[in-house]
Amino acid sequence: MDILVPPYRLARRVERLKPSTIREMLKVTQNPDVISFGGGLPAAELFPVADVSAAQDRVMRARGAAALQYSVTDGVPELRAWVANRLRRDGVAVHADDVIITNGSQQGLDLYARVFLDPGDVVALENPSYLGAIQAFDAFEPDYLAVASDAHGIVPEALETALGAADPKPKFLYLIPNYQNPTGNTLALERRAQVVAICARHGVPILEDDPYGEITFAREPWPPLLSHASQGAVTYLGTGSKMVAPGLRVAWMVVTDHALRERIVTAKQGADLHSSPYTQYVFHAYVEDGSRLDAHLDVVRATYRARRDAMTAALAAEMPAHVRWNVPDGGMFLWATVGAGIDTEVLFEHAVRDGVVFVPGRPFYPAKDRGDGMRLNFSAMPPERIAEGIARLGRAVRHLGG
Ligand SMILES: Cc1ncc(COP(=O)(O)O)c(C=O)c1O
């Protein structure tokens, strides 16, 4: 008897689903001789392995089978309460009932898009913006309204003009206000209330994605956009990935409008029933001692700061004058523009041969219309490897650009 063989008749949306450049590149970086500024990896040697192991033992002793059973879709109450408390510490009026625990904030991006987007709807975002978000949104076949951004984040005047002219209006604005991926830029304090007010005036809700807000080098974290907004105007995504470890896949979504929250919870139910209660309890058992978490975050901040300094010092020493970069005061990335007419996708081919990789800038622009930028990750490597990698990159740039 014949069995069905490909070609399959796949959904139209898969045409838009391209493998992420970054994930593809991580394959190259399996080679230990290659120095990678490409991935967005936290420093693995800082992961609190012993403390998470102890947390896991406590969970098994105290909860046993309950941690291994099916659970509620919106997340275990203890962890939701911890999220609300932590945000309240930053001056945001949030309750445990507003919180949904997700499988990484990547799932928050997917769920939000799932409840908002039909094919042909418009999403407004910074230009450039996080590739993984564009990838998550792409499954729902939207168009993009890319709004000009500068060293201080999205430009309010450009946002006002873009939203005023947009027809149809975007379903939402997607923003990464702190140490943005890919640029490392932060939305200026004085722009925050302005951006919230502009969106409110145009009836456009904001999806605030904040994985890096706590990874600050020189100051206290700034209050999220959520703190400037009336109820329901901003949905906030936070994550344990950069604070603790991404392998736990523990993240949270704050949705103060409970009608919207119910829709998102229902969408999550269809996607995965619920996030793992086991990892939620382990994460909670690790973070509930605030002083332990704060001590860990201090080490992360100091280490990444030293690595940023190593990278900017190496760039100053190795790069010709047409290469420019910013000096972010937090997060894991900086952004360099190469100049001299060099396309960073071409540079990438040379750099791989010289044993160093980065992420070329083009995929971060929804229109894929700028090829002079590159994202450099500084968190994953010790300073001496950073110096060696930038020296290799400098040779590749000089080879192409003179
Ligand atoms: C801006 C941004 N949003 C979301 C994510 C996904 O993070 P998570 O590990 O919480 O899924 C990342 C990861 O790098 C990111 O940079």
**Half-sphere CA count of 9, side-chain side, radius 13 A:** 1
The Å distance, Cα 399 to ligand 1 centre, comes to 34
Give the neighbor-by-neighbor strand order of the sheet with 373-377: 324-325, 333-337, 373-377, 359-360
Spell 163-183 as b/e; 16+ CB within 10 A means b.
beeeeeebbbbbbbbbbbbbb
Number of structural domains found in the chain? 2
Ligand 1 pocket residue status of 121, Cβ below 6 Å = no
Global pTM reads 0.95
Same domain, 129 and 249: yes
CA 190 to chain centre: 23
> Which atom of ligand 1 is closest in space to residue 40's alpha carbon?
14
Same domain, 240 and 363: no
Is there a domain that residue 163 lies in? yes
Same domain, 266 and 313: no
Is there a domain that residue 268 lies in? yes
The Å distance, Cα 402 to ligand 1 centre, comes to 36
pLDDT number for residue 233? 93
CATH label of the domain that carries residue 39: 3.90.1150.10
Same domain, 207 and 319: no
The Å distance, Cα 4 to ligand 1 centre, comes to 38
Same domain, 110 and 251: yes
Residue 62 near residue 46 (C-beta atoms within 8 A): no
CA–CA gap between residue 9 and residue 62 (Å, rounded):
50
CA 310 to chain centre: 23
Q: How many CB atoms lie within 10 A of CB 29?
A: 17
Same domain, 154 and 200: yes
CA–CA gap between residue 170 and residue 331 (Å, rounded):
28
Is there a domain that residue 352 lies in? yes
pLDDT number for residue 23? 65
CA–CA gap between residue 11 and residue 13 (Å, rounded):
5
Angle between helices 131-138 and 21-28 (to 10 degrees): 120
Ligand 1 pocket residue status of 379, Cβ below 6 Å = no
Same domain, 39 and 147: no
Same domain, 151 and 207: yes
By residue range, what is the domain housing residue 360? Answer: 15-46+293-401
Ligand 1 pocket residue status of 104, Cβ below 6 Å = yes
Q: How many CB atoms lie within 10 A of CB 32?
A: 6
Apex 287 CA angle, 276 and 48, nearest 5: 90
Ligand 1 pocket residue status of 22, Cβ below 6 Å = no
Across the 402 residues of the chain, what is the mean pLDDT of every consecutive 10-residue run?
A: 73 78 67 90 97 98 96 98 93 94 98 97 97 94 96 98 97 98 96 96 97 93 88 93 98 97 98 98 96 96 98 98 96 96 93 93 91 96 97 95 68
